[in-house]
Every structure is written in C-alpha cells, then in structure tokens.
C-alpha cells in the first residue's frame, strides 16, 4: 500500500500562515490553535463597538501584495472618510454600498504627539512647532550639534543611535522616554537593528522647517494607510482566508510537538508527516515543542526575549474630542504610550455618536482599578475624551508576545536557530516565528517568500 505523500504543514493561521497557504502550489495542511484564523489580525466586538488588537493599520508597498489586497478588498473610490465631520455621510453611504460590504478605505494619517501639555504633529523630530520655546531651542541645538559631528564610533545601541541622529534634546524629550515605554526596556539595552524603516530621519532643513511651522513634508512609512470600511482588520483576514485553496485548515488544533528524526508534527495526539514546516507560532513556543534540540540551540533559545503588552479596549458614550487616529505619549506621568481612535478611521467601528479606542499601557503588570482611573484621567488630559465619565467600558487585554527585544544576543541567537531549523526543513516565519519587528504586509510577504523557498527545494513537488 502506498503511503500518502507528505505535505507542507503550516503551524499557525495568522497572516503569515494564511499567506503561505495562499502562495503554496503543493498540498498543505494548516493547524491553528484558536477557533478562528487571524492571529493578531482579528477584531473583537462588544455592544456594537469594534476593537482590533490595538491599532492595525495597513501600509502596503509591494505591488503584488497591493494587487492581492485590492482584489479581495477593493479600495472605496470616494477616498478618505473624514473623522468626526465625515461620520454622518459615511454612515448613510453604507446603505448604497450594501452590495460591496467588503471594502477598504484609504486614510490620510492623522498621527500626533502629546507632550509638555500640547498636541503636536508626528513625527516629533520633524514637528517641534507648538512645543514650549525652551524645548524647541534645546532640540534644535541638539540636532545641529549631532549633524555637525561627522566622526565617531558606530552607535552600539538605540540610545546612542538616537543621540547620533537626533541629538540630545529630541532624544530626551521624545525618543528615549517613548521607546522605553514602548519596548518595556531602556533603549540602551536594545540595538537599532529594527528601526531603519520605522523611525523617520529628517535632514536639518526639515527639522528647522518643522520647528518654525513651515511644511517639513510628510514623513514616515505610514503617511496613509488602508483600513476595512467595516468589521475592523479581521475583514482583511477573512477576505484573504476566503481565497486559500489546495489544502486543509484545522482550527482549535494546537501543535503539541515536533519529531525531527521522523519529520512529523503531533497535533491532538495524531502524528502528521511533513515535507516541510512553515512555523508561525512564537519561536520560543516552537523550540519548546522540539525535544531533541542540541545544547547550543537550547542555550540560544534561552536568550530570546520579548515583552508583553497590556492594553485596553475603551468605549465612549459620546464622540471623541480629538480628530486624530493615534497619538504617541512619551511622558512618564501618563500611564500609556500610545492611544488610538479606531472610529476616527472607520466610523463603523463604534455605534453612532460614540467612539472605540485602544490604549497601550506602559506598565507590564496586571491592570488594577487605580490604573483604570489614571487612564481615564489621562485620556481626558490628552484630549482623547471630554471627561473621565465619558468612558462606557474599558476591557483589559494582554498580548503575551508583543515586542521582540533586539538585545546583544539577538543576532547570534536567531542566526543559529534558523540555520538549525532549516536544516530540518522547518521554516520559521512571521513576526514571532521570524522573531522580529514587522508589520502585516511583511507577514504577507514572508508567507509568499517561504512558499517560494519550499517550492524551490529540489524534489519538493509531490506529483
């Protein structure tokens, strides 16, 4: 009796796993631990309020991925629905769009910084205008000094990187405190490996223009973004998942272990032989499921670090005071580092006359009543809500694996681990499989890339 041909086994059905399934041209089977696909790209609903797992705004740069997304979720041709002012027409318009419930809107970013009691434009380093004069002076002198310094050793960590590129003032007033809140560790303990695409580097002319209120130009990878008109980011996940074919999806199926010798994964007690594995679950979780790891890989695995994120889904009773989509909050006295208003980007994210927000907390500990009260006060302070009493509910959530820490062990550990895994036909990809800092498009690209790598292995075709 001939054995069934080995398949490609995909572990995890977030965007990386879905993309791998979409791009593979040979049989695959996908095991997802949860009851639905999407991983971090899903949306919760409560009482008509919708919440992603904090802001999930889609930025696309790859032509083929743009085309794929446009095919599954065409962009609404009317362009951006405005924030508060645009709500009513946008809602009315939905009736006429009932034949096209799955649509994207293209939104011009409205990102802000709240510090020194004022709200300024993002990015901080190119928009000093509006800050107290002493702060502007300190930041400008610092950046001029930094730009004049043409020699010196390569920055060894992210703090040195900030001082080198932005100078002392911008580092002190934004870069260092904000990144410490975000990463949960001091910037001197992480490298700058992650930041080239995500941290805009203005030239001196742009910094000066932004300090005096002249146009410094729009900067950053996320000048505009796409977002589903309805249903939150999960609409994208569902639209992509509806396109997968040529394999099987098993939900509520957590991988228990991997047997490298026999090239089998064990799921719900069943042994499934594999030709190759696309692993998208967090790397430490994958490694913990492999019993026959060599000592050096075990040692490297022990050095992988990641921070947990606690955040709040906040529903309001009335429209928000602010019109921005998200705001960065560097100062320590406020308990959050970033706040976003989903319903300012897509009105359907909240019932009429109300708003849905996310609040990313600086503290990594359990969320207490005192935290909730500080947050409510803080949201009123930054102008996100009119008063603490405007909050209808606030639900605490946790993302266990949120930010991979790029410390001094990162490069050596990941290089050795990936080399080892690939020698056993295990391709670990995606934000936590690839143990990196990336965005949704990178995961769609990673799924495509890994499908191509597996197809390219000689003898990988089943037929």
Ligand X SMILES: Cc1cc2nc3c(=O)[nH]c(=O)nc-3n(C[C@H](O)[C@H](O)[C@H](O)COP(=O)(O)OP(=O)(O)OC[C@H]3O[C@@H](n4cnc5c(N)ncnc54)[C@H](O)[C@@H]3O)c2cc1C
**Which residue ranges make up the site for ligand X (CB under 6 A)?**
11-17, 31-34, 39-41, 54-59, 254-255, 280-281, 285, 309, 399, 402, 430-433, 438-441, 443
In the bound state with ligand X, the residue whose beta carbon lies nearer, of 126 and 309, is: 309
b/e code 96-108 from CB counts within 10 Å (16+ = b): eeeeeebbbbbbe
Least distance from C-beta 132 to ligand X, angstroms? Answer: 30
Least distance CB 122 / ligand X (angstroms):
14
Structure tokens at 145: 């000094």
User: CA–CA separation, 463 vs 454, rounded Å?
Assistant: 15
What are the backbone dihedrals phi and psi of residue 62, each rounded to the nearest 5 degrees, phi first?
-85, 125
Q: CA 234, CA 240: separation in Å to the nearest integer?
A: 10
Minimum separation from the CB atom of position 169 to ligand X (A): 28
Strand partners, 10: 30, 278
Rounded to the nearest whole angstrom, what is the least distance from the CB of residue 205 to ligand X in the complex? 29
When the beta carbons of 207 and 384 are compared against ligand X, the nearer one is 384
Complex with ligand X: residue 257 or 462, whichever CB lies closer: 257
Shortest distance, CB of residue 139 to ligand X, whole angstroms? 27
Tell me the CA end-to-end span of the chain in Å, nearest whole number: 17
Nearer to ligand X, 147 or 259 (CB): 259
Rounded to a whole number of angstroms, the minimum distance from the CB of residue 428 to ligand X is: 10
Residues 6 or more apart from 2 whose CB is under 8 A from it? none
Q: Nearer to ligand X by C-beta: 136 or 255?
A: 255
Nearer to ligand X, 91 or 400 (CB): 400
Rounded to the nearest whole angstrom, what is the least distance from the CB of residue 431 to ligand X in the complex? Answer: 4
**205 strand-pairing partners:** none
Q: Which of 56, 392 has the CB closer to ligand X?
A: 56
Please state the closest distance from residue 272 (CB atom) to ligand X, in A: 12
Residue closer to ligand X, measured from CB, 167 or 282: 282
Whose Cβ is closer to ligand X: residue 166's or residue 401's?
Answer: 401
Work out how close the CB of 354 gets to ligand X at its nearest, in angstroms, rounded to a whole number.
22
For residue 283, which phi and psi values (nearest 5 degrees)? -50, -45
- 8 A C-beta contact, residue 139 and residue 146: no
């Amino acid at each position: 009796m001939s054995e069934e041909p080995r398949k490609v086994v995909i572990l995890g059905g977030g965007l990386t796993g879905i993309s791998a399934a979409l791009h593979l041209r040979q049989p695959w089977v996908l095991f997802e631990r949860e009851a639905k696909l999407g991983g971090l790209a899903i949306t919760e609903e409560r009482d008509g309020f919708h919440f992603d797992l904090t802001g999930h705004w889609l930025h696309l740069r790859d032509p083929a991925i743009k085309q794929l997304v446009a095919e599954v979720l065409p962009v609404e041709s009317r362009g951006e629905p405005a924030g508060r002012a645009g709500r009513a027409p946008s809602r009315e318009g939905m009736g006429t769009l009932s034949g096209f419930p799955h649509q994207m809107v293209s939104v011009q970013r409205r990102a802000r910084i709240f510090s020194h009691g004022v709200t300024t434009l993002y990015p901080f380093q190119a928009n000093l205008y509006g800050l107290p004069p002493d702060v502007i002076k300190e930041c400008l002198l610092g950046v001029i000094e930094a730009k004049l310094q043409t020699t010196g050793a390569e920055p060894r960590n992210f703090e040195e990187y900030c001082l080198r590129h932005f100078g002392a003032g911008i580092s002190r007033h934004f870069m260092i405190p904000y990144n410490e809140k975000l990463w949960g560790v001091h910037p001197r303990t992480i490298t700058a490996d992650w930041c080239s695409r995500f941290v805009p580097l203005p030239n001196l002319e742009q910094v000066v223009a932004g300090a005096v209120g002249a146009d410094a130009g729009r900067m950053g990878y996320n000048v505009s973004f796409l977002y589903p008109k309805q249903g939150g980011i999960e609409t994208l996940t569902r639209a992509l998942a509806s396109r997968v074919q040529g394999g099987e999806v098993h939900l509520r199926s957590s991988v228990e272990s991997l047997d490298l010798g026999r090239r089998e994964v064990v799921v719900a007690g069943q042994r499934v032989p594999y030709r190759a594995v696309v692993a998208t679950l967090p790397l430490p979780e994958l490694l913990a499921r492999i019993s026959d790891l060599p000592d050096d890989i075990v040692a490297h695995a022990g050095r992988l670090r990641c921070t947990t994120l606690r955040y709040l889904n906040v529903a309001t009773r009335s429209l928000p005071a602010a019109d921005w989509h998200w705001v960065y909050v560097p100062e320590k006295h406020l308990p959050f580092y970033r706040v976003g208003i989903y319903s300012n980007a897509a009105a359907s994210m909240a019932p009429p006359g109300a708003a849905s927000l996310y609040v990313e907390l600086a503290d990594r500990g359990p969320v207490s009543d005192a935290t909730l009260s500080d947050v409510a006060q803080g949201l009123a302070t930054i102008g996100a809500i009119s008063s603490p009493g405007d909050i209808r509910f606030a639900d605490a959530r946790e993302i266990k694996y949120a930010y991979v820490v790029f410390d001094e062990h990162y490069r050596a550990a990941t290089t050795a681990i990936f080399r080892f895994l690939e020698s056993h036909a295990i391709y670990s990809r995606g934000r936590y499989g690839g143990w990196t800092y990336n965005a949704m498009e990178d995961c769609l690209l990673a799924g495509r890339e890994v499908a191509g790598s597996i197809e390219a292995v000689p003898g990988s075709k089943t037929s």
